[in-house]
Amino acid sequence: MNLRTKLWLMVFTASFTGLVLFVASLAIMGSMNARGYTHEMLNQIGSQLAEEAGQQAEEAGGPEQAKTRVETLMNLTRNEHPKMRFEWFSKDGALLYATDHRKKAYSFDEMMRRFSGMPEKLWGFDNEEVTLVYQWALDNDSQYLILSVPSTEMRGTQLFIYVRNSWLLFTLLIPLGIFFITPIFFSLIFFTRINRRLKAMNIAVQEFDARSTRIVLEDRGNDEIMQLNRHLNHMSERILNQVAQIQDNERKRQTLIANLSHDLRTPLTMIQGYAETLHDGLYQNEKEMRMYTEIVLRRSRYMNDLLQKLLEISRLDMHPAPIRMQETNLSEQLRKLAADYISILENHCMSFDIEIPDTSITALIDPPLIERAVRNLIENAIQYGRAGGYLGLALRMLSAAEGGAVIEISVTDHGPGIPVEKQEVVFERFIRGSDAREGEGLGIGLSIVKEVAAIHKGSVRLESRPGVQTKFTIVIPKFLADHPA
């Protein structure tokens, strides 16, 4: 059963149930307040008494017998309705009999006051008498029966509707019909709008393709459906972004496999070739043997370093190392670190420019992480920028615009540089800065540098002019906000 059918059934069921409850409640409330007379009951009693009085008068043998029978009939009716009072008048207004045994004739003014205020007295609002008059005949002379009852004995729930023809009754029922139809009409409008909005959501979800299209639902409402539309829009955008990220990761994975295969195959082929040469003794002298051995050793170390970087990035993803912040003398740490690379730079005929202040610069850092990041930058500069013959390492402390101080650690080389189009993605994993930057690698080192800077609430900045200079700068706050000095 679709939603539209359910809504129609609900509307009609609710309307029918409401009508039944309306009638039932009227009946129950009416029965609870049914004490007293209604004007229909008074008319029935008075008309029946007048009719029977006329019959008794016709059946009587003479005037005296007719009078006796009528008086007896009035007294019997009075016994059944003790709150009522009956009076018999002739056509000239003379009082012939009264159940309360009144003998005094009524004046015109007194009689008019009894009928004044009718029919409002039938509601029983005032402490007055309700007076009704009925006619019958005795010896072809008009006789009048006056029925009186205190207005307090009238039923308070009675309703007066006087209709002279069926058309007037129809006109009275029109407002009642409008009363019941109006909420149904507005309910249908409301449900139709909801159904249309839900249908638009259903179509949008059915047509949603996580690889190409996004859900764009425009709803001017200000309710839960509008919020659901907004959530669907955001959800589709997140799904598309996640799918794009998965596809990008898949491309990177394929690139990683291709690069890894290439970077491992080349040294492995060299190791295998020189190992076979050494094994078969196909070298001319001891010097040539040592050269082959050094090549095998260097290529083996390179493969080991490559695998270590893969294991390192895997550990960072699966089991993040705990961060241990401590106040550290960065000046001393970087001097010790630079000393480790002096011999390596001399072997590559590279000049080494160190700019570290004589005064101590301290910061709240995780020393092993910072050392790892700086080493990655230095090794990256040696690997890709050795053709420039220069490597610079600088440490400086600057004042931040929003207060406090920041520390900058810069590594500079004069290699081929990084093209502008790759400068924004060079810190992503498995991205190499440039094919022109000679060397081997998987594009992991710079992504680790970025993660270390982020851990310290800092950033890493790249300034590169291809063929002139490439400079990487780690910027970190001197003290973190959640680690006061």
Buried (b) or exposed (e) across 300-312, using 16+ Cβ within 10 A? eebbeebeebeee
Q: Which of 105-109, 208-212, 422-426, 429-433 has the highest mean pLDDT?
A: 105-109
H runs (alpha helix) in 208-341: 224-280, 286-318, 330-339
pLDDT band at 28 (very low <50, low <70, confident <90, very high): confident
Is 70 exceeded by the pLDDT of residue 412? yes
Q: Which residues of the chain are in CATH 3.30.450 domains?
A: 36-156
Residue-level pLDDT at 484: 46
- Mean pLDDT in residue range 373-394: 90
Residue 436: band (very low, low, confident or very high) from pLDDT cuts 50, 70, 90: very low
Contact status, residue 150 vs residue 129, Cβ threshold 8 Å: yes
Query: In the chain, which segments carry CATH 3.30.565.10?
Result: 322-477
User: What local confidence, expressed as pLDDT, does residue 430 receive?
Assistant: 59
- Please state the rounded mean pLDDT for residues 433-445: 53
Identify the residue with better confidence: 245 or 370.
370
Please give the pLDDT value at position 439. 45
Q: How far apart are CA 398 and CA 158, in angstroms?
A: 94
Lowest mean pLDDT among 254-268, 361-375, 410-424: 254-268
Percent of the chain's residues with pLDDT above 70: 82
Cβ atoms of residues 120 and 128 within 8 Å: no
pLDDT of residue 401: 59
- In this predicted structure, the answer to whether residue 438 has a pLDDT above a threshold of 50 is no
Mean per-residue pLDDT, 232-261: 77
198 pLDDT above the threshold of 70: yes
- Please answer whether residues 437 and 416 qualify as being in contact, where contact means their C-beta atoms are separated by less than 8 angstroms: yes
Question: Tens of pLDDT along 443-472?
Answer: 677 888 888 899 898 999 999 988 889 999
Structure-token pair, residue 6: 């359910």
Residue found under tokens 């009075």: 78
Instruction: Return the residue matching tokens 């019997």.
Output: 76
- At 125-181, the pLDDT tens digits run 667 788 999 998 887 889 999 999 988 888 766 666 666 666 666 776 787 778 778
Highest-confidence range of 1-5, 25-29, 383-387, by mean pLDDT? 383-387
Does pLDDT of 269 surpass 90? no
Long-range contacts at 14-19 (CB < 8 A, ≥ 24 apart): 14/187, 15/180, 15/184, 18/180, 19/180
Domain spanning 322-477: which superfamily?
Histidine kinase-like ATPase, C-terminal domain (3.30.565.10)
- Secondary structure (3-state) at 354: strand
Name the strand (E) or helix (H) holding 459.
strand 459-465
How confident is residue 485, by pLDDT bands cut at 50, 70 and 90? very low
Strands in 330-445 per DSSP E: 351-355, 362-365, 390-399, 405-413
- Residue with more model confidence, 17 or 99: 99
Which of the pair, 231 or 314, is modelled with greater confidence? 231
pLDDT score at 135: 92
Question: For 259, phi and psi rounded to 5 degrees?
Answer: -65, -40
Q: Does the pLDDT at position 12 exceed 60?
A: yes
**Per-residue confidence (pLDDT) for residue 164, from 0 to 100:** 62
User: How does the average pLDDT of the chain come out, rounded?
Assistant: 81
How far apart, in whole angstroms, are the C-alpha atoms of residue 225 and residue 326? 52
pLDDT category, 33, cuts 50, 70, 90? low
Q: Strand 85-89 and strand 351-355: pairing?
A: unpaired
CA-based nearest residue to 146, from 162, 167, 129: 129
Cα 52 from Cα 39, distance rounded (Å) = 20
Instruction: Give ranges for CATH 1.10.287.130 in the chain.
Output: 224-314
Residue 77: predicted pLDDT: 93
State the DSSP string of 114-170: HHTTTTGGGG--SSSEEEEEEEEEETTEEEEEEEEEEGGGB-TT------SSHHHHH
CATH fold group of domain 36-156: Beta-Lactamase (3.30.450)
Residue 376 has pLDDT above 80, yes or no: yes
Read off the tokens for 397: 């402390």
* Residue pLDDT, tens place only, 304-344: 877 776 776 666 565 555 678 899 999 999 999 999 888 88
Element (H, E) at 71: helix 63-80
Checking if the pLDDT of 251 tops 80, the result is no
Q: Considering the domain 224-314 in this protein, what is its CATH number?
A: 1.10.287.130
Q: How far is CA 41 from CA 66, 82, 215, 310, 319, in A?
A: 26, 15, 71, 103, 94
